[in-house]
Structure 1
Amino acid sequence: MTEQIYSLWQRMERGWAEGDGDAFASVFAQDVDFVTVRGEELFGRRAVAQGHGRLFAGPYRDTKLTAEISLIRPLSSDISLVHVTSSITPAGITTHAQAVVVQRDGVWEIAAFHNMIPKGNP
């Protein structure tokens, strides 16, 4: 389970590095509830892909996302709570996220994601 969860963030990092909103969003469930760093609520993988596609075409063009998982807490055999700190370079931004990761039909995906920029960060 742990390896599959880590691989979600590795895929997310690759999608970001490629500037590909669809690849970035591929780790999220079709019906994901996603809260952005600005507190905006996005519903569904398509909304996450489109929103990040705009970011990759604009302010986050040619940036790199590096994620560090600090907690994986299994809540059941098919559900885990995950805490992640991510850095966006060279923008100098650090984010903290809490995610609910679920296994559906043998595939792990992020069902809920709440992302924020800690106070004092740009």
Structure 2
Amino acid sequence: MSDEAGVRALFARLADAWERGDGAAYGECFTDDASYVSWVGTVYRGGGDIGRSHQVLFDTYLKGTKLLTGGTTDVRFYGDDTAVLTSRGDVGKKPGKASKVQTFTFVRRNGAWKIAAFQNTKRRPLLERLSFRFQPETRPAAA
């Protein structure tokens, strides 16, 4: 399996754990010292804490939801054992608009890929368009 296939396989495993509402399996995708920043700004540390907190969410607010990916993911490697995956997505019960952008930092430890850091940001398209209109030089070159 190629490095990119390994990273994408872990990303798929993460989505599967979410869809099954399995907090423990979700947390196992992360390193023991991972940092996880939710879209509301809450910071969790380590796969155990991430899995525990998500189980509560899976049992309540996020029950029956799945990770909805916007279909756009970019995987970049920084050496043999580090990769960054950027995606657009959201959560919900049926397909919808990808209103968030996520950044995952993957590391390979003992031959296995794990997520070491996660950042989730809610998109503000109107503010983004206004910024680009009044300050065009703020538009990303890749846009």
Per the alignment, residue 105 of structure 1 pairs with 110
Per the alignment, residue 35 of structure 1 pairs with 37
Per the alignment, residue 11 of structure 2 pairs with 9
Q: Does 1:94 align with 2:99?
A: yes
Per-residue CA distance 1:5-27 (angstroms, 9 max, x = gap): 00111111111111111111221
The runs of 4+ residues in structure 1 deviating greater than 6 Å are: none
Q: Structure 1 stretches of 5 or more lacking a match?
A: none
Higher-Rg structure is 2
TM-score (norm 2): 0.77
Contact 1:32 1:45 in 2 (8 A): yes
Equivalent of 1:45, from 47, 59, 67? Answer: 47
* Structure ranking higher on relative contact order (CA contacts 8 Å, 6+ apart): 1
TM-score (norm 1): 0.89
- 1:50 CA drift (Å): 1.3
Equivalent of 2:59, from 37, 57, 60? Answer: 57
Distance 2:55 2:14 in 1: 13
Q: Percent identity?
A: 25
Per-residue CA distance 1:52-77 (angstroms, 9 max, x = gap): 11111111101111334521111111
Equivalent of 1:116, from 105, 114, 121? Answer: 121
Distance 1:21 1:95 in 2: 21
Please report the RMSD computed on the Cα atoms of aligned residues, expressed in angstroms: 1.7
Contact 1:69 1:82 in 2 (8 A): no
Higher helix share: 2
Higher strand share: 1
SS in 1 for 2:63: coil
Distance 1:72 1:21 in 2: 25
Q: Structure 2 stretches of 5 or more lacking a match?
A: 126-143
For 2:60, give the aligned amino acid: G
